[in-house]
Amino acid sequence: MQAAATHAPPDSADELGEPVPKVPNSPSSAFACLSLDDDDDYDDGDCNDSSQRPTGTSQHMGGNASKAAEVASATRLVEALDAARKRPKPLIRSTGHRVQGPRDEQHHLLSWKTSEFAYRKSSTTGSDLPTLARGLFTERLLTRDGSVQHRVAVRGYDKFFNLAEMPWTRPEAIRAYTVPPYILTFKENGCIIFIAALSDHQLVVTSKHSTGALDGVAVTHAQKGEEWLDVHLARAAKTREQLARELWQRNETAVFELCDDSFEEHVLEYPAEKSGLHLHGLNANSATFRTRPMDEVDAFAREWGFIPTRYIEVASLAELHELTDRIGMSGSWEGEPIEGFVIRTRMPSTDPAGQSSGGASTEAESSSAGSTRAPVSPPYAPGQTWFYKVKFDEPYLMYRDWRELTRKMLSQKAAWEKTVHARGGGGSGANTIPGATGPATVDEPISSPAEPATTEATSSAAADADADADTGEAKVSKSQLKREKKKLEREKREAEAKQRAAAIQAGIAPPEPPQARSKRPETLIFIQWCYDRLYGANGVKARPDLFATFGEGKGIIALRNTFLDYLKAAEGQQKLAALGGGGGDGSNGAAVEAAAAEDTRPFTKTLITPIAVPGCGKTVLAVALSELFGFAHVQSDDFKGKKGFLASVDKELQAHDVVFADKNNHLFQQRDELIELMQKRSDPNQVVKPPSKKKKGKGGGEDEASAAPPAIPRIRTVAVAWQLDALPLNALHRICSDRILARGDNHQTLRADTTGAAGTRDHETVLWRFLEQLQPYGSTLGGEGSEGFGDAKFDETIWLGVDEGLEASLRRIVKGLCPMLGLPMPDDARIEAALAKAVEYKPAVKRETKSEKKSAGGAGDKDAVEGTGGAEAEAGAVAKAGSGGGGGVKVRYYGIAVELDLHAVLGKLFDEGQSSDASSEAIASGREFFHQLRQEKRITLRPHITLVHSAAVAKEQESQSITNPEAAETKDAPAKQAEDVAGATARWERYADLCRPSNDVVEFDMVLDRLIWDGRVMALSVRDVSSASVPDFEAVQGGRGGQGQGRWRPHVTVGTAAQDIRPVEANRALMEAEDGKQGVFQIPIGQGGTGVRAKGRLQGMNH
């Protein structure tokens, strides 16, 4: 084992030079030299100045065959990345950086950032995910023949995963696809820093995706890394130029962990002598992943003054497992808590015969019950180095969970204080957290939700019953008395819960503490301990000072240590003992739950969990799979509550090997509940009660076999996930609502409304409820205390496209399931027959819907909310605004539902700089406002263009001041009011006619050309609006939208800064922008500022 040298921290950081500016990839600027678009961009006049050209030398441009191959490989990678980032919902984004050299040369770099979940979404590299590299910067090269070439300038590791996190890091894959020796490098707990050479005399220091200064950040990770670089080089009597020459000759990136608690705390504590840059890798600047052996990395660190990373070498998997199991018992090495190990290994020189590569297994298993999993190959070539990691639960993961739970409580408290402040209840007080939004005070300590409820009512009921018995009146049995007591207690609890929920909703009472997924005594106590000191409770004073700097990445360790001191004291020890814990030091010992041994049993059961919204086709696919393979099918719409559905899934799994849990499962909570149930049923350590013995038979004996406890299954969980975040919500709504309309009334609860106006039909409104609640699969990577933990626990995932047909989806599922379950692949005829039967499926249960009960004179069902009741049962159901002529809700205005992903369009604008005509001031202002809207969830989910509003019709008809409350939207734009009102009635009647159920849908094309904002509202201006279905649209509407295209000036509202700012203010901002008013910004959008083309559909609207 190699031990790291220790170094003292610097007395003062060396002064840095000018910050490296971060620039957008603007095709019409000098940065166009790096642009990956048309060659015309490269010939931009600004590029004629040699000082503006990207640099490159023959060393990295094909000086010999191997280098030429390296450049060709990097060029292919960049082309694939560029294609991937241009997809409608890209998994990859790029950001431009200009780095000034010491000799007036400039280097233009692109950093490539991949969505974290994309690594899990793709089973191997391909068109969506061309590389697994995590931390990648490329540079465009000069060539004599004018061809476009690129080099990798900075190269991080390939993304590596926890043991058993991916198919190729499961134990069976580790056994098949690794060879000794195994190198275990200590996983330091800091942030990644890369140092590479841009020339033989210049270095660049980057974080994972950025370099130099960033707006709004005092000191970036890259800048702090640069400070420490100078400190380490000075200790070794080396210079930057010398290191640049060394890395340039090697064509490598040095990979470090920056650990400096004075700059940023993480989870584990680093004393001053261990602060600085820990070198743990030297990677080749190549498209494929190649890295130096650890003995060479260690020697390099010592030569250049960096902190070597500790590592251990073992000769076998058995030795590796023995070592990690032993260290995992305490989570520490030589008394020091550690995060875990990165295991460095190699692929075998030959691929084990018959194994799959990078995706689902292809070798058929013997049977679905009792089969073993075929190992899946990592996406690497024979002999190539690859990594996986082992993290220790104790104490690292526990400490990390405490940090995340604290963050969640602070976020909830800040939101609560903002609500209190908005209600006029603000004020300074001891209970206010410095830096929180809006002060709040709590005059009296708030009772902890964990405190038991009083039982006065139940005691009184019991006394009354006893009195009745004593006076000789009708006696009440003990069982009746117990039932009455339980009923009263339940009613009291429910009333208190409702009262508290209402108080929390109104901002009167603080939010509940988060629920811990872990049942560790220390974690449960930590939550209550923090909650009490945040709000003041249980006789404890609020301690806002404990949390004052937590949001800045400071005070994390101090807070934890304060809690650990409390845990060691008498009160903490008592609470630990009450919860079955002991020890009290927050590490292992007697207080720690026994680590669960790896479950190596073969899978015996499988749960298939769709993740969808109504209209995806999940029930048709479930019926088809049942027809093909005999799978059990449990439909949530057959139940009024989630308990019945979960109980039925549980029951069917006892009787069948494979169960399809037919529910939308579009919420984290629903998926978490299924995963928790499966983990509980699969736990090999659970105590299973044997079934009750049968009565004695004629022979007087008992059936002993019936007394044996059932075998504990190991349940495989398979997510069948539609890519619900791959399309704009309006497009997703269009596709799914059309399918619901096509299926008609063939559903238990969500039946097509064929009488309402397009856009306001009952089923369309219900579908919007689902889409607005949607929490896409894998969209959270939070730790303890956060929803969505279950998404990472699914054993397998099969991805489906929302816009692909049912047959294509069925074939995709069958192709994924058959090798997984050891089932024979059905032929085309069987698949087609099963699908035909599924399409004709009629639900066994049909419940009367709310609207049907109302039309029949009934009161209607109580609103059912998805997540607490039946799957598609009204979803809170519809028509609160009143009927709109037979079905649906009342139409407030007619408009065009624009199929546009605002996050993607504006993200490209501000993160990739696609506008060619915008000042840096405008870009900075727009980026800040956009990030504010995104952070506060103020970006509209349903982009639309208003064509005519009911308020304008009322104004035209009344010919007097508007009194209709709905007309308030037009009061803010008096200059435009006359134009909006003129002809409003005629437009209303025309669009109402076009939206009748008997007419075909009306599609529109348009161009969104400019982004406008003023700090209150952000909007997109629109031009070239047209529809083949409405040839006289320009005459009806008064123009096509753009400047010089008539009087009609439409817009799409992106969002408003606060709830009390009406979206109609976008009209004012648009006019003021065109008038050139100070403080109102506008910039062109789209590639080169040419605009963004979009489609939309005419609809009646009410939202």
Residue 417 is predicted with a pLDDT of 85
Q: Are strands 203-206 and 385-391 parallel, antiparallel or unpaired?
A: unpaired
Structure tokens at 388: 């996986």
Residue 412 has pLDDT above 50, yes or no: yes
Structure tokens at 794: 């699914």
Q: How far apart are alpha carbons 1084 and 1042 in whole angstroms?
A: 13
Mean pLDDT, rounded, for 112-129: 75
Residue 584 is predicted with a pLDDT of 45
Residue 214 has pLDDT above 80, yes or no: yes
pLDDT tens-place string over residues 294-315: 999 999 999 999 999 999 999 9
Helix (H, G, I), strand (E, B) or coil at 564: helix
Residue 256 has pLDDT above 80, yes or no: yes
Mean pLDDT, rounded, for 1035-1057: 92
Inter-residue contact 379 to 356 (CB < 8 Å): no
User: Picking from 147-156, 244-253, 723-732, 793-802, which range would have the lowest pLDDT averaged per residue?
Assistant: 723-732
Mean pLDDT, rounded, for 1083-1098: 87
Q: How far apart are alpha carbons 620 and 830 in whole angstroms?
A: 15
Residue 95 has pLDDT above 50, yes or no: yes
DSSP-derived secondary structure letter, 320: H
Residue 119 is predicted with a pLDDT of 78
Enumerate the H helices of 507-554 as residue ranges: 521-535
Mean pLDDT is highest, among 95-104, 249-258, 394-403, 788-797, for 249-258
Residue 698 has pLDDT above 60, yes or no: no
Mean pLDDT is highest, among 264-268, 699-703, 812-816, for 812-816
pLDDT tens-place string over residues 160-196: 999 888 888 988 899 999 999 999 999 999 999 999 9
Residue 6 has pLDDT above 50, yes or no: no
Inter-residue contact 209 to 133 (CB < 8 Å): no
Inter-residue contact 802 to 616 (CB < 8 Å): yes
Mean pLDDT, rounded, for 697-718: 68
- Total H helices, total E strands in the chain: 30, 29
Residue 101 is predicted with a pLDDT of 81
Residue 27 has pLDDT above 80, yes or no: no
Inter-residue contact 657 to 703 (CB < 8 Å): no
Q: Which residue has the tokens 């005629």?
A: 986
CA distances from 316 to 168, 180, 353, 363 (A): 19, 6, 22, 27
Please report the domains of the chain, with CATH numbers, ordered by start residue.
30-390 (3.30.470.30), 396-449+500-591 (no CATH), 605-683+712-855 (3.40.50.300), 893-1101 (3.90.1740)
Mean pLDDT, rounded, for 5-19: 34
Residue 443 has pLDDT above 70, yes or no: no
pLDDT tens-place string over residues 836-849: 999 887 766 555 55
Q: How far apart are alpha carbons 826 and 628 in whole angstroms?
A: 8
Q: How far apart are alpha carbons 893 and 980 in whole angstroms?
A: 12
Higher pLDDT, 356 or 404: 404
Residue 1081 has pLDDT above 50, yes or no: yes
Residue 792 is predicted with a pLDDT of 80
For the packed helices 618-629 and 806-821, what is the interaxial angle rounded to 10 degrees? Answer: 50
Inter-residue contact 251 to 284 (CB < 8 Å): yes
Label residue 961 exposed, middle or buried (CB < 10 Å: 0-12, 13-18, 19+): exposed
Long-range contacts of 78-84 (CB under 8 A, 24+ apart): 78/36, 78/110, 78/138, 78/150, 79/36, 80/127, 80/130, 80/131, 81/112, 81/130, 81/131, 81/138, 82/36, 83/127, 84/127, 84/128, 84/129, 84/130
Residue 21 is predicted with a pLDDT of 37
Helix (H, G, I), strand (E, B) or coil at 611: strand
Higher pLDDT, 881 or 432: 432
Q: Are strands 632-635 and 605-611 parallel, antiparallel or unpaired?
A: unpaired
Q: Which residues pair with 192 in a beta bridge?
A: 257
Long-range contacts of 974-983 (CB under 8 A, 24+ apart): 975/1071, 976/1049, 976/1067, 976/1071, 979/1038, 979/1047, 979/1048, 980/949, 980/952, 981/952, 981/955, 981/956, 982/956, 982/1038, 983/956, 983/1038
Higher pLDDT, 732 or 314: 314
Task: Give the sign of the dihedral formed by CA 962, CA 967, CA 971, CA 973.
Answer: negative
Structure tokens at 730: 């309006």
> How confident is residue 63, by pLDDT bands cut at 50, 70 and 90?
low
SS (H, E, C) 130-183: CCCECCEEEEEECCCCCCCEEEEEEECCECCCECCCCHHHCHHHHHHCCEEEEE
Hey, what amino acid is at 122? S
| Burial 322-358, CB ≥16 within 10 A → b, else e | ebbeebbebbbeeeebbbbbbbbbbbeeeeeeebbeb
Residue 218 is predicted with a pLDDT of 87
Structure tokens at 43: 């010939």
Inter-residue contact 681 to 650 (CB < 8 Å): yes
Q: What is the mean pLDDT of the chain?
A: 78
Helix (H, G, I), strand (E, B) or coil at 990: helix
Q: How far apart are alpha carbons 252 and 254 in whole angstroms?
A: 7
Q: Which residue has the tokens 């073969």?
A: 602
CA distances from 393 to 169, 188, 340, 397, 786 (A): 18, 15, 9, 5, 17
User: Picking from 456-465, 782-791, 834-843, which range would have the lowest pLDDT averaged per residue?
Assistant: 456-465
Report the percent of the chain where pLDDT is more than 70.
Answer: 72
Q: Which residues pair with 322 in a beta bridge?
A: none
Q: Which residue has the tokens 């190198």?
A: 183
Residue 643 is predicted with a pLDDT of 82
pLDDT tens-place string over residues 315-356: 999 999 999 988 988 888 888 889 999 999 999 988 665 454
User: Picking from 58-62, 227-231, 484-488, 727-731, which range would have the lowest pLDDT averaged per residue?
Assistant: 58-62
Inter-residue contact 1099 to 894 (CB < 8 Å): yes
Structure tokens at 529: 């301990």
Residue 920 is predicted with a pLDDT of 74
The angle subtended at Cα 34 by Cα 29 and Cα 39, nearest 5°, is: 85
User: Picking from 216-220, 405-409, 436-440, which range would have the lowest pLDDT averaged per residue?
Assistant: 436-440
Q: How many CA atoms lie within 13 A of 786 on its CB side?
A: 22
Q: Which residues pair with 894 in a beta bridge?
A: 948, 1100
Q: Rounded to the nearest 10 degrees, how much is the dihedral formed by the CA atoms of 113, 928, 781, 343?
A: 40
Residue 780 is predicted with a pLDDT of 64
Residue 885 is predicted with a pLDDT of 40
> How confident is residue 20, by pLDDT bands cut at 50, 70 and 90?
very low
Mean pLDDT, rounded, for 517-546: 87
Q: How far apart are alpha carbons 784 and 517 in whole angstroms?
A: 6
Mean pLDDT, rounded, for 398-423: 86
Mean pLDDT, rounded, for 263-270: 89
Largest distance between two CA atoms of the chain? 111
> How confident is residue 57, by pLDDT bands cut at 50, 70 and 90?
very low
Q: What is the DSSP annotation of 872-898?
A: SSGGG-S-TT-BSSSSSB---EEEEEE
Higher pLDDT, 571 or 854: 571
> How confident is residue 609, by pLDDT bands cut at 50, 70 and 90?
very high
Inter-residue contact 1053 to 1068 (CB < 8 Å): no
Q: How far apart are alpha carbons 993 and 999 in whole angstroms?
A: 8
Structure tokens at 980: 């909006």
Q: How far apart are alpha carbons 294 and 1 in whole angstroms?
A: 11
Residue 694 has pLDDT above 60, yes or no: no
Residue 761 is predicted with a pLDDT of 61
Mean pLDDT, rounded, for 614-625: 92
Comparing C-alpha atoms, which of 343, 356, 345, 349 is closest to residue 383?
349
Higher pLDDT, 748 or 989: 989
Enumerate the H helices of 371-426 as residue ranges: 398-422
Hey, what amino acid is at 662? D
Report the percent of the chain where pLDDT is more than 90.
Answer: 39
Inter-residue contact 167 to 122 (CB < 8 Å): no
pLDDT tens-place string over residues 953-1001: 888 887 534 444 444 444 444 444 445 666 889 999 999 999 888 788 8
